[in-house]
Amino acid sequence: MSKPLASVNDFVVKFANVNGSGSASANGLFVKSILRSGVPVAARNIFPSNIQGLPTWYEVRICEAGHLGRRGGVDLMVAMNPQTWDRDVAEIEPGGYLFYDSTKPMPPSKFRADINVVGVPLTQISNTAYSDPRQRQLFKNIIYVGALAHILGIEVAVFETLLAEEFAKKPKLIPANIEALHLGVDYAKEHLKPLGLQVKRADRVGDRIFVDGNTAAGLGAVYGGATVCAWYPITPSTSLAEAFTSYCEQLRIDPETGKAKYAIVQAEDEIASIGIVVGAGWNGARAFTCTSGPGISLMQEFIGLSYFAEIPAVIFDVQRGGPSTGMPTRTQQSDILSAAYASHGDTKHVMLLPQDPGECFEFGSLAFDLADRLQTTIFVMLDLDMGMNEWLTAPFTWDDNRNLDRGKVMTAEMLEAGADFGRYLDVDGDGIPFRTYPGTHPDKGAYFTRGTSRDRYARYSEEGAVYVDNMERLVRKFEAAKSLVPAPVLRKAPKATRFGVLYFGSTGPAMHEALDALESRGLHLDALRVRGFPFSAEVFDFIHQHDLVFVVEQNRDAQLRTLLMSEGGIDPARLVKVLHYDGTPITARFISGEIAGLMGAPAQTGEMAK
């Protein structure tokens, strides 16, 4: 028998439930109770793409030290799904705990000798207390939360307060839920001992908020001046459009007339969505769509039009598992190449790579400035883990006096003063021409917008030299973007090292913990988080400063590595692939185990746990 795990404010709890059983609310209540106790939490919902009946998991990382990525491994498994029992029990760390519904006896073969079993007859308790079948199911979830509260040392008063807040608009439900909570607490008090895993009140949450990336990006779009959203529902991006709608209803209403100062169109498909966005951008509005990989595939021709006709547009790509339908409710970072080079012909697109909801808000706003400044499509590359899961993040910074960067717009006054207006004329060498809004001047500044080749004054031309001139100017514009996208973030190792690691997006939190773990073993790496494409010189300088650079990403084909080799002419031997793409968010243990092995160090227990 392994020694029971013992830890205060640093362990992993995983709930194994059935989709549609009503467990989500109870599991969310559990997470909020930890936060209210002042202890940082990271929660990941791993759910199926069907509506009801298949397995779902909810993994909770409790970490006073503040690590917000997945660690890997499970210390306490709350096993509520008989279908996945064997798999769930196998995930538990030696010395860990299995919490289960013991109403029906289980054969000894279903348990492990090296774990600690905590049985609570949840179904029996619920069936005794309630007669309605739906109540029995829903309140059974609250009962197990009550039992967990007692054995983990969480203050019951915290749950009571949360339930009162949750049902503030339905106060008749408050007493019934608190009663169910105490059924679990009272059983645990009488029959169970506290676990070695305990939650103790701390003060490590501060003023941070708990929010998902899609909500943050939707609010960022409002802050960035977006007034048009055209979208078609697709997992996992739908909630971004819904969040934008909700915030517009609060913040984009004329106080005097009560009229909406925004347009939100649910189009018939993704093609129509991006077409509306491009049309609105041409007309001077700040417009966006939100989608996922399959939507990007459908939008290709309009993305090419935005690139070649130089029309501002923003696309929020909340990445999921592919190809084709793939895994609609699983996370990956697998649209990097398709977004970077979207459409046919020679195209390159700007990508912003946020790490967490805080940067989803920041980059969600910045994208509209960049779209206007560069007159092109800007991709904001979220993923399902970042977009649909709630993360602990600093409060967003909002400045009511913020000025929007509309880029090079030629005004009526400039035209009247005799300015030479050529829609595709590079006046200062950065590749970015001036544009005019429709109706700027009664007889000056007009031009024909086309997706076919034209000269500097927007006049149709298929002359080779004219085409090359235009394409080379677009390259200069892309070069100019290098100084406009967010700069990479460097973490220097405490000791000089010939090893480096590159990563991006939602890999960040797990990477931070992995680097700490590697340093504790004397394995030192400089780390650079890439936050935008095109890559700045800093990215390639970092690569050339190290003998080997590990490139960590969540896709099969090493897409970031491919971009680095393509754009920087990097020797493939210098860039070592570290890939995780099973659809679950990457873990610190996976990263540290892979890199340690590649550096020649022996693997440690649990390091390959996902």
The CATH architecture annotation of domain 489-598 reads 3-Layer(aba) Sandwich (3.40)
Which pTM value belongs to this model? 0.96
Specify whether the CB–CB gap between 383 and 209 falls below 8 A: no
DSSP state of 409: B
Count, residues in the chain = 610
Q: How far apart are CA 571 and CA 578, in angstroms?
A: 17
Low-confidence ranges of the chain (pLDDT < 70): 1, 51, 605-610
Structure-block tokens of residue 333 = 């970072």
Angle (CA) 600-512-589 rounded to 5° is 50
Around Cβ 356, how many Cβ atoms within 10 Å? Answer: 21
Alpha helices in 19-84 (DSSP H): 23-36
Q: Which amino acid is at 519?
A: E
User: What is the pLDDT at residue 310?
Assistant: 98
Q: What are the pLDDT digits (tens) for 405-460?
A: 999 999 999 999 999 999 999 999 999 999 999 999 999 999 999 999 999 999 99
Structure-block tokens of residue 364 = 């969600």
User: What is the pLDDT at residue 463?
Assistant: 97
The secondary structure of 577-598, three-state, reads EEECCCCCCCEHHHHHHHHHHH
User: What is the pLDDT at residue 21?
Assistant: 85
**Token match 């923003």: residue?**
314
User: What is the pLDDT at residue 1?
Assistant: 63
Show me where the domains of the chain are located. Answer: 7-198, 211-393, 409-485, 489-598
CA distances from 443 to 410, 414, 446, 447 (A): 14, 13, 7, 11
User: What is the pLDDT at residue 53?
Assistant: 76
**Token match 């994208």: residue?**
367
Q: How far apart are CA 32 and CA 205, in angstroms?
A: 12
Q: How far apart are CA 147 and CA 78, in angstroms?
A: 11
The CATH architecture annotation of domain 211-393 reads 3-Layer(aba) Sandwich (3.40)
Shared fold status for 211-393 and 489-598: yes
User: What is the pLDDT at residue 609?
Assistant: 54
Q: How far apart are CA 205 and CA 188, in angstroms?
A: 28
**Token match 């404010």: residue?**
9
Q: How far apart are CA 148 and CA 58, in angstroms?
A: 15
CATH of domain 7-198: 3.40.920.10
Short-list 31, 43, 26, CA closest to 391? 43
CA distances from 535 to 306, 355, 565, 577 (A): 21, 16, 11, 18
DSSP state of 330: S
Peptide bond into 121 cis (omega under 30): no
User: What is the pLDDT at residue 608?
Assistant: 53
User: What is the pLDDT at residue 113?
Assistant: 96
Structure-block tokens of residue 422 = 């050529």
Structure-block tokens of residue 354 = 């946020």
Specify whether the CB–CB gap between 154 and 148 falls below 8 A: yes
Specify whether the CB–CB gap between 252 and 281 falls below 8 A: no
User: What is the pLDDT at residue 19?
Assistant: 87
E strand or H helix at 96: strand 92-101
* 437-440 contact pairs (CB < 8 A, 24+): 437/283, 437/284, 437/409, 438/282, 438/283, 438/284, 440/410, 440/411, 440/412, 440/415
The secondary structure of 416-439, three-state, reads HCCCCCCCCCCCCCCCCCCECCCC
Q: What are the strands of the beta sheet with 548-553, ordered from one edge?
A: 489-491, 526-530, 499-504, 548-553, 575-579
Backbone region of residue 342 per phi and psi (left: phi > 0; alpha: psi in -120 to 50; beta: other values): beta
Alpha helices in 64-155 (DSSP H): 85-91, 122-129, 133-152
